[in-house]
Amino acid sequence: MTTEGTGAATSKAKYIRGVPHPLPAGEHVLWEDAPDPSAMATHVFHRRLFLLYFAAMITWWGVTTSVAFGSNDFIASLGVRVGLSAIVLGVVEMLARVSARTTWYAITNKRIVLKIGMVIPMSINIPFQIVNSAGVGMFKDGTGQLAVVLGKEHRLAYIALWPHCRVFELDKPSPILRGLRDAQHVGGLLANAFAAFAADDDDTRIERTTSHGLNHEPAIHPHPVGV
């Protein structure tokens, strides 16, 4: 994780990790980090729910089956069920780890950037001008997430955002920074960045016409595979 408090090196950053496009003049990185794989598995891909489901199904089968307990047929049937459950749980774990490994979040003094894409890497730029609100959600394990609500006239494609959005908001998905280890800190940092950005409103109005479109709409920039 990199934050503003780590020193001058961060404030002078010209690139966001994994994003090939340099930051415009006057913009610098305040924070950047990847999501926690375990938090992604638990809170995004619902590892615990799958585990509980398969445990309940196997237990129910064991209680209701007519196959003699401890027999070869019982052990074989149990092995098949445990094996299939393990495969599904393995897929869930793999998706969580791949999603975390291919994701990089960043907050600059002017926008939020999501570098995402398990198959097709892309960067999504969310300028502060179009952000309506943002909120932090915390989980009992200490991890959290940061949800960003865009103005009504702005929207992003659900297929481009998933799984970094609310599951059932298909029409107007809200970007979410998932699996944050220090969500409260990131939320506070973003609030301070918003406040500083709003205080510089006169400069903002000038910048909107001179920033190559980055501050007008949530822009999606596909990356070459492997970036």
Q: Give the model's confidence band at 155: pLDDT under 50 very low, under 70 low, under 90 confident, else very high.
A: confident
Mean pLDDT of the chain: 82
Q: Which pLDDT score, from 0 to 100, does residue 75 have?
A: 93
Residue type, 207: E
CATH number for region 2-35+103-222: 2.30.29
At 92-130, the pLDDT tens digits run 999 999 999 999 999 999 999 999 988 888 889 999 998
Please report which residue ranges of 65-182 form alpha helices under DSSP H. Answer: 72-101, 158-161
Instruction: Enumerate the domain spans of the chain.
Output: 2-35+103-222, 41-99
Residue type, 146: L
Contact 124, 218 (CB under 8 A): yes
At 131-147, the pLDDT tens digits run 888 899 999 999 999 99
pTM of this prediction? Answer: 0.78
Q: Give the model's confidence band at 215: pLDDT under 50 very low, under 70 low, under 90 confident, else very high.
A: very low
Q: Give the model's confidence band at 1: pLDDT under 50 very low, under 70 low, under 90 confident, else very high.
A: low
Phi-psi region of 70 (alpha: psi -120 to 50; beta: other; left: phi over 0): left
Tell whether the model's pLDDT for residue 208 goes beyond 50. no
Alpha-carbon distance of 113 to 25, in angstroms, equals: 16
Tell whether the model's pLDDT for residue 24 goes beyond 60. yes
At 48-93, the pLDDT tens digits run 999 999 999 999 999 998 888 888 999 999 999 999 999 999 999 9
